[in-house]
Chains A and B, each alone.
Chain A
């Protein structure tokens, strides 16, 4: 039995580790474009100078030898021959497989704004190479524009903040982090960014990139006419799954590779996990999909059913926050409870005993319980407590081996 995994990030690595824990003898191969194993969530710490490539690894250096995994690194997969059960590499080498896991992740998407795709000095923030390119860019830049104030865009801003480049953030929505925060929440962070002399432009689109000699970025024009001078642009406008190498129509692709609850694609013996499936582009889901896929590849049934994607924690500029579920009440029949003080903003959206969303800023202690309540729609009607004081004691249930559980589930 030979297991082949394409991709060496959250899903791929965890799948390989799990496979080895289940199957001590058969061959496991990881093929990756990456030359290193690192956490993409921490790339901005490399830009800021706080860490280097080694310090953003999420596994030990001896991972591959310890788990006896063969790593074909720095090589791109260009095709899969599904009837021959072969993976074709860019150097024309072949890797046969018995079970295949596609965990190739996603890549940054550059929107078709005028001159954006052609300009020099335009960067993404998705891979380590991007970081190296941005390093070069910083050397020649005094001003930078960050396109998109989602998580990646804000990360980019945090990374570049201390590098001596004047930053402007451009966001389509009426606030930064529009999927994670409401207006009041976003305002708290926007205020903090302003103290760092970072300009934020909301409710505007990027209309045009104006080039200078040599094809380099010179200015950007926004939809409201504003012109911003800049030497570099970091695009954080979304990602697209890396499925370009899949030509076989038997592998169904929708927003991403389509998988069932066992992480199986529509093709036998081919599995997929992580951002390439576009289930929800967050780390824990990639990890769990990788683990579930591994079990199923090994032959042990395991369901992946944690698709709850609306969850994020953030920690910028000394202010930590957690966002769960919806950030605004869908309509007026919902109850909204709020705590608002100088340092803390908390909002819980609920109806008829079910919590639908929560934003916690400045105090996220012990908030994991809210996550459970929202994810599993656990009814809290008969818990006669201030909603902000509800904690696990109200669901306390202990198994024989001492682990906790929720009775309701």
Chain B
């Protein structure tokens, strides 16, 4: 599977990845100009945070080999596709229990800000050839690499 690798030393916290993710998952259209930056319904699936030394660190869903979110999901909404390696989230099945949010050891997940009923989960841009965040990182802090599933 292709995983988004992270070299945090190259991250400059420009948030272009966050912006690109919002644009890619925006119901109003995929252009960056379609993103309403004042609408809390727009949020990135991954995020940049600041560590104890004040440096920016990308926190991105790993689509883990043994995903805690899948283990804790009691509705079958979180599933791991053994072939593609992608951990997918099906919001129709989800019962909004948020056990996954609590269980992800890396704190990658959160309920959506607008309705607090679904989980904001990276979907590797649903089959796009290259995830939009990786495409828009100007420094190469995030990049794609083939790994064993």
Contacts and interface: CB of A to CB of B under 8 A. Distances in A.
A396 B8 contact: yes
B35 interface: no
Interface string B1-23: 00111101000000000000000
Contacts of A313: 97-99, 101-102
Contact of A320 (B98, B105, B106): B98
Contacts of A324: 102
B118 to A, nearest CB: 11
A322 B102 contact: yes
A39 B76 CA distance: 9
Nearest to B62: A403
Given A402-B6, A403-B62, A384 B97 contact: no
A74 interface: no
Contact of A371 (B3, B6, B102, B148): B102
Contacts of B103: 284, 311, 368, 371
Nearest to B116: A320
B9 to A, nearest CB: 11
Residue picked from B5, B76, B107, B111, most chain A C-beta under 10 Å: B107
A26 interface: no
Contacts of B3: 401-403
Given A41-B74, A384-B52, A322 B101 contact: yes
Contact of B148 (A315, A398, A401): A401
A383 interface: yes
A280 interface: no
Interface in B9-53: 47, 49-52
B59 interface: yes
Residue picked from A55, A311, A320, most chain B C-beta under 10 Å: A320
B75 A42 contact: yes
A391 B62 contact: no
B95 A393 contact: no
B62 A318 contact: no
A365 interface: yes
A390 to B, nearest CB: 8
Main secondary structure of the interface of A (DSSP, over half): mixed
B51 A320 contact: no
Contacts of B5: 398, 402
A283 B72 contact: yes
Contacts of B129: none
Contacts of B72: 283-284, 287
Interface in B73-104: 73-76, 82, 93, 95-99, 101-104
A248 interface: no
Contacts of B93: 55
Contacts of B102: 311-313, 322, 324, 364, 367-368, 371
B105 A406 contact: yes
A16 interface: no
A41 B95 contact: yes
A369 B106 contact: yes
A55 B75 CA distance: 9
A39 B107 contact: no
A315 B96 contact: yes
B107 A58 contact: no
A56 interface: yes
Contacts of B6: 398, 402
A253 interface: no
Interface in A361-409: 364-372, 383-385, 391-394, 396, 398, 401-404, 406
Given A367-B101, A372-B105, A393 B75 contact: no
B109 interface: yes
Given A315-B96, A365-B111, A401-B3, A393 B105 contact: no
A288 interface: yes
A284 B75 CA distance: 12
Interface of A: 10, 21, 39, 41-42, 45, 55-60, 283-284, 287-288, 291, 311-315, 318, 320, 322, 324, 364-372, 383-385, 391-394, 396, 398, 401-404, 406
* The 6 nearest A-B residue pairs measured at CB: A393-B57, A365-B110, A368-B104, A58-B76, A393-B51, A366-B107
Given A368-B105, A402-B6, 18 more contacts: A39-B74, A56-B75, A283-B99, A291-B71, A320-B98, A320-B116, A365-B101, A366-B59, A366-B109, A367-B107, A368-B103, A369-B106, A371-B105, A372-B105, A398-B5, A402-B62, A402-B147, A404-B64
